[in-house]
Amino acid sequence: MGGGMRPGAGVRNTPIERASSIDMMQLASEVGPAPSQVGAILVLDAGSQVRLGQLRQALAERIPSIPRLRQQLVRAPLGCGRPTWTDDPAFDVAGHVHEVRCSAPGTEDDLLRVAADIVTHPLPPGQPLWSATLVSGLKDRSALVIVFNHVLADGMGGLAVLANLVDGASRSTDTGFPRPSPSWWQLASDALTSRARALAHLWVVPSRVREALAELRSSDIPAAPRCSLNRPVGSRRALGVARADLGAIRSAAHAHRATVNDAVLAAVSGAMTTLLAHRGEHVGHFVAMVPVSARTDASAAGLGNQVGATPVALPADGDWSQRIEAIAADTRRHKGSSRGASAFLLAPLFRGLAWLGAMRWFTEHQHRVTTFVSNLRGPETRLSLLGATINEIIPLVYPVGNVPVAFGILSYAGTITVAVIADADACPDLNVLVDGLQHELDAIRPQQTFEQEPAAT
């Protein structure tokens, strides 16, 4: 089934869409035993009757609004620059939209196991890098698991994709698909122009290096302490979820002149301390690597990756109030740097390591990071898909290198959902971590806020 999309009639001068330097960094980083795939679980209304054929038809009608979902990443000839995003003339929505049946009794734990399997199953190469899987057989809900390779979009881009797939979004009537691939001459000319433009802007390099170093904070963040939370990851994943009321977390955070992100980071630190105590270990702090988007917003027409990263020291001792105040004071000191600036240094570093064949060794032996924590602000009101209300969105992230536990935070319709995804072999006691995180979030209570303008979320 191709969704009724007609081939274009010889469109000329097709704009050339290159993979960005950050996209190339993402590709270089994909050296572990499991693919670098992210996504979300859309948990739908209990009793909703979404059918596979109905879903395929609806997505076929909506996908033209998201050009990247019908494009494949194609390597350019030697000397013709970075790979290009090119329309896939063989695109067939049926090849990307599937259905699986959850094993009985179809509880949330069963859904999470299915989602963990789906997100670690490699997407077929040579075609658009995404999939949507309808999960049936659930006890009191239905769900859709959307997965895409991280090179296709960052977190904010993923939200833009979702916004164009749900009910009520504006629709494209694009009839020019598939657009022809650019010729060798077009690619070579475009690459030459891009290189000339880069040379003309060499004067900005020193300032961009300073901004990147400021975001990476290499001089004031301690190394991650040696503990069992740093060991090479394998290919199996386990997934758990904790939840909290967004309003309560925001109110409590603002009472400490902090952000929602600071509040959840303090809870994450407490949960990891609980996990290490269960294992008979103790450390004084953790280091979380937190993605920082260079975007102020995102659209389905401009996907790819525009994200850097900054390390945040998380104190392991003290109660939640003490931890959040330390984290907030630290993050306030570094709010002046350009968002996403660190990618200017990280992109060439990771690509260089990949070229040397040392990328996997580097990621499995680093001692700077304990965990990854991503935080996205989702829609404030509930969305629907094929008439079924989306009750919850559970983000899917991935551990990598020697960081076997990662946290994905998403606010949606007044609720904060924290997905904890871990290497199943390195973290067989994931339930201790998730229970500890839920306990930390439950213990956060709104307090009297300061009278000045509250901190941004």
| Tens digits of pLDDT across the chain (457 residues) | 344 334 444 444 678 888 888 888 888 888 878 888 999 999 998 767 789 999 999 999 999 988 899 999 999 898 898 899 999 999 999 999 999 999 888 899 999 999 999 999 999 888 999 999 999 988 878 899 999 988 887 777 788 888 889 988 877 766 688 888 998 899 999 889 888 887 777 776 667 666 656 656 655 788 899 999 999 999 999 999 999 999 999 999 999 999 999 999 999 999 999 999 999 999 999 999 988 766 556 556 566 666 677 889 999 999 999 999 999 988 887 665 555 566 667 777 778 888 888 888 888 989 889 999 999 999 999 999 999 999 999 999 989 999 999 999 999 999 999 999 999 999 999 999 999 999 999 999 876 444 344 444 5
Residue 451 lies in a domain: no
Residues 186 and 234 in one domain: no
Domains in the chain: how many in total? 2
Residue 200 lies in a domain: no
| Burial zone of 248 (CB within 10 Å; 0-12 exposed, 13-18 middle, 19+ buried) | middle
Our CA dihedral for 370, 24, 424, 231, rounded to 10 degrees, sits at -40
Residues 123 and 240 in one domain: no
Residues 33 and 101 in one domain: yes
Structure tokens at 373: 């924590």
Residues 217 and 162 in one domain: no
Structure tokens at 113: 């196991």
With contact defined as beta carbons under 8 Å apart, do 39 and 394 qualify?
no
pLDDT of residue 11: 42
pLDDT of residue 438: 97
Phi-psi region of 424 (alpha: psi -120 to 50; beta: other; left: phi over 0): alpha
Residues 167 and 268 in one domain: no
For 179-198, how does the pLDDT look when each residue is reduced to its tens digit (9 = 90+)? 889 988 999 998 898 888 87
Residues 119 and 262 in one domain: no
Residue 447 lies in a domain: no
Given the structure tokens 């990147």, which residue do they identify? 212
Residue 9 lies in a domain: no
Residues 214 and 191 in one domain: no
Distance CA 406, CA 237 (A): 11
| Contacts for 78 with CB less than 8 Å, ≥ 6 apart | none
pLDDT of residue 25: 80
Residues 226 and 276 in one domain: yes
Residues 123 and 250 in one domain: no
Given the structure tokens 């290499």, which residue do they identify? 218
Distance CA 46, CA 27 (A): 38
Is the N-terminal amide bond of 178 cis, ω within 30° of 0? yes
Distance CA 389, CA 166 (A): 10
Residues 214 and 166 in one domain: no
Residue 291 lies in a domain: yes
| Contacts for 152 with CB less than 8 Å, ≥ 6 apart | 68, 128, 129, 130, 303, 304
Residue 40 lies in a domain: yes
Buried b / exposed e across 148-173, counting CB within 10 Å, b at 16+?
Answer: bbbbbbbbbbbbbbbbbbbeeeeebe
Q: What's the domain range around 221?
A: 206-442
Domain of residue 370, CATH code: 3.30.559.30
Residue 380 lies in a domain: yes
Domain of residue 188, CATH code: 3.30.559.10
Residues 242 and 380 in one domain: yes
Residues 290 and 437 in one domain: yes
Give 116's DSSP letter: H
Give 403's DSSP letter: B
For 233-258, how does the pLDDT look when each residue is reduced to its tens digit (9 = 90+)? 999 999 999 999 999 999 999 999 99
| Contacts for 198 with CB less than 8 Å, ≥ 6 apart | none
The pairs formed by 174-178 with CB atoms below 8 angstroms and a separation of 24 or more are: 174/64, 174/67, 175/6, 175/8, 176/8, 176/11, 177/5, 177/6, 177/7, 177/8, 177/64, 177/70, 177/87, 177/91, 178/7, 178/8, 178/70, 178/87, 178/88, 178/89, 178/91
Q: What are phi and psi of 4, to 5 degrees?
A: 75, 25
pLDDT of residue 208: 62
What is the reported pTM? 0.88
